[in-house]
Amino acid sequence: MTLDEATSLLRAAEIESPRREARLLQDLAQSSSTALAGEGDHRAAMVEGAFAQYVARRAAHEPFAYISGHREFYGLDFRVGPGCLIPRPDTETLIETALRHRPDSAAKLSMLDLGTGSGCLLATLLTLYPNAHGAGIDSSAEALRWARENLAALGLESRATLIETDWPEEASPGFDLIVSNPPYIPSAEIETLAPEVRDFEPSAALDGGPDGLAAYRVLIPRVVRLLAPTGLALFEIGRGQCDAVSTIVSETGLKLLEINHDLAGIPRCVLLAQGERNCEKRVGS
Give 187-212 pLDDT, tens digit per residue.
Answer: 999 999 999 999 999 999 999 999 99
Pairing, β 254-261 against β 281-283 = parallel
Rounded Cα distance, 157 and 159, in Å: 5
Domains and CATH numbers, the chain: 3-60 (no CATH), 81-283 (3.40.50.150)
Confidence at residue 2, expressed as pLDDT on a 0 to 100 scale:
92
Q: Please say whether the beta carbons of 243 and 204 come within 8 A.
A: no
Contact 197, 234 (CB under 8 A): no
pLDDT value at position 35? 58
- The pTM of the full predicted model, rounded to 2 decimals, is 0.92
Q: What is the pLDDT of residue 284?
A: 47
pLDDT beyond 60 at 36: no
Q: What is the mean pLDDT of residues 198-227?
A: 96
Helix/strand/coil for 76: strand
235-281: pLDDT as tens digits? 999 999 999 999 999 999 899 999 999 999 999 999 999 975 445 44
Are 244 and 211 spatial neighbours (Cβ–Cβ below 8 Å)? yes
81 CB contacts (<8 Å, ≥6 apart)?
A: 66, 69, 146
Burial class of 163 by CB neighbour count within 10 A (0 to 12, 13 to 18, 19+): middle
Q: CA-to-CA distance for 186 and 207, rounded, in angstroms?
A: 6
* Contact by Cβ (8 Å): 154, 125: no
Q: What is d(CA 279, CA 258) in angstroms, rounded to the nearest whole number?
A: 6
Residues contacting 181, CB < 8 A, separation 6+ = 85, 91, 94, 115, 117, 121, 235, 236
Q: List, for residues 66-121, the tens digit of each pLDDT value.
A: 999 999 999 999 999 999 999 999 999 999 999 999 999 999 999 999 999 999 99
pLDDT of res. 169: 66
Q: Residue 238: what pLDDT?
A: 96
What crossing angle do the helices spanning 120-128 and 92-101 adopt, rounded to 10°? 30
Contact (Cβ atoms closer than 8 angstroms) between residue 50 and residue 33: yes
What pLDDT sits at residue 21?
A: 97
Per-residue pLDDT tens digits for 42-71: 778 888 999 999 999 999 999 999 999 999
pLDDT at residue 31 in the model: 87
* pLDDT score of 253: 87
